[in-house]
Structure 1
């Protein structure tokens, strides 16, 4: 899969939702970074940060509810989509996540903006909001922010173990070739409660994104950095991501909304309630019949909830 073919499939996926994004690149101070941005809609800006092993287009089912009132800015995170290669080995993931969001806002000329994040994107958003609370107007977290639970599921232990992950991606975990393959993989991982809810064009686009030459390395080296001890391992018991941020969450003083799938395999809603309780102004909505990507299982419910929350 090359970038041109992926871009074509991505355009078809956006068209399926009646959207035609403006796509452009922003060079960030780190010479290894170049963010590809997709922008749709008009109005006040909102930045949406996608999860791991994904691309900005994964937000598509959520966008129709927001595009009439907001300028939606969807970056492909480093190592994902059209942003190109990024190797996370040796990278301080917390510092990187906060710096990426900071440099992104600076490049867009935004002093302050609402952030929407899922999974690893949620972790990036939290890391930035702790470092720069004055720059986050509102914060929406859909699904478990990466590493919220005390222990990782076996899948992430495997993917986070250097050497084992390479073997897996050459054999059992080969990226999906089509929408059916993507649905099957998501069903096994519990990312959605009902994989039939993934539209064909979106499934084709996301499968293509997973087959970009740099996608697997970006994903696996990132997961390696989440584990303790450094480098990951099958016997790692604790995660280095959101759980490590909990003692500092009180610094985030903006309103925060959690939309947490009732069937999220990476953390039960009670995990989210415990995190929300550490924030000065937060509430959690449990999304029934939804997995780790609740806006794909329940796009109308999530779209309405996010739109109302952003409207204040």
Structure 2
């Protein structure tokens, strides 16, 4: 599959960065954090930022398998996969399906994906007068995520993930609250949940110092 891919090249470690519904700009700080010392791969999901979406790409699994193919094609191992929001859902599905053991660590930031009772996903509403999300990006999100913006089967599939996972959550997230994140983390065999004070749904942008300290500690 053809898609836009930022590849920084070089570095001692490979990091795959998967953006959320607000597009590639939402993970720029993550890419910049890792780029000096790692090879960072940051694809733009087909359908975002004006990129075409193939008609056969209709689910999160299509993205997960495409990015696993990327890791296979590049023959990468011990890859750190970092996913924010919707990208976290893609990252989780990728880890579930990683039969080739390409993934070494998983970092999810305020990820959506599973259906968790009592915690429906609430898309953020822009303040009055502020621009809302790009309609084409929102349409792509709904195409991949489905009408419920969640997969009721994902939570139980996470038991297949054998790599350590770190789930970071903005304490003020109103899209998927910390209680959602704690339930998400509990479904992994080996996961750590960390709240991030002073952050909402995008902790890497809203509280970068604390967010990257936690990520670096996890990967050390």
What are the Cα deviations for residues 25-51 of structure 1, in whole angstroms up to 9, with x where unaligned?
Answer: xxx3xxxx3232242662211110011
Q: Is the 8 A contact 1:148 1:267 kept in 2?
A: no
| 2:193 alignment partner, one of 284, 287, 291 | 284
Distance 1:107 1:145 in 2: 28
Counterpart of 2:87 in structure 1 is: 121
Query: How far off its partner does 1:277 sit?
Result: 1.1
- Give the conservation status (yes or no) of the 8 Å contact 1:65–1:304: no
Larger proportion of helix: 1
CA distance in 2, matches of 1:135, 1:43: 15
In the TM superposition, what is the alpha-carbon distance from 1:149 to its structure 2 partner? Answer: 4.5
Give the TM-score taking structure 2 as reference length: 0.84
Q: 1:80 to 1:278 in 2, by over 3 A?
A: same
1:188-227 correspondence runs (5 A): 210=134, 216-227=135-146
**Contact 2:105/2:164 (<8 A) preserved:** yes
Secondary structure at the residue paired with 1:141? strand
**1-structure distance, mates of 2:49, 2:10:** 21
The unaligned stretches of length 5 or more in structure 1 are 1-27, 157-171, 174-180, 187-206, 211-215, 233-237
Change in CA separation of 1:43 and 1:148 when aligned onto 2, cut-off 3 Å: farther
Residue of 37, 48, 51 corresponding to 2:6 = 37
Work out the number of aligned pairs and report it.
Answer: 215
CA distance in 1, matches of 2:198, 2:154: 28
Aligned to 1:130: 96
SS at match of 1:85: coil
Q: Is the deviation greater in 289-298 or in 108-117?
A: 108-117
Is the 1:85–1:218 Cα contact (8 Å) retained in structure 2? no
Q: CA deviation at 1:70?
A: 1.8
- Name the SS for the 1:270 alignment partner: helix
* Corresponding residue for residue 40 of structure 2: 72
Q: Structure 2: how far apart are the matches of 1:60 and 1:94?
A: 22
Partner of 2:63: 97
Contact kept in structure 2, 1:136 and 1:254, CA below 8 Å: yes
Summarize deviations over 1:161-219 as a string: whole Å, max 9, x none.
xxxxxxxxxxx99xxxxxxx8xx457xxxxxxxxxxxxxxxxxxxx9xx5xxxxx3353
Aligned with 1:43: secondary structure?
coil
Superposed CA deviations along residues 53-82 of structure 1, whole A, max 9, x for unmatched, are 311x42222345433332222111212247
Unaligned runs of 5+ in 2: none
- Structure exhibiting the larger radius of gyration computed from Cα positions: 1
Partner residue, 2:150: 240
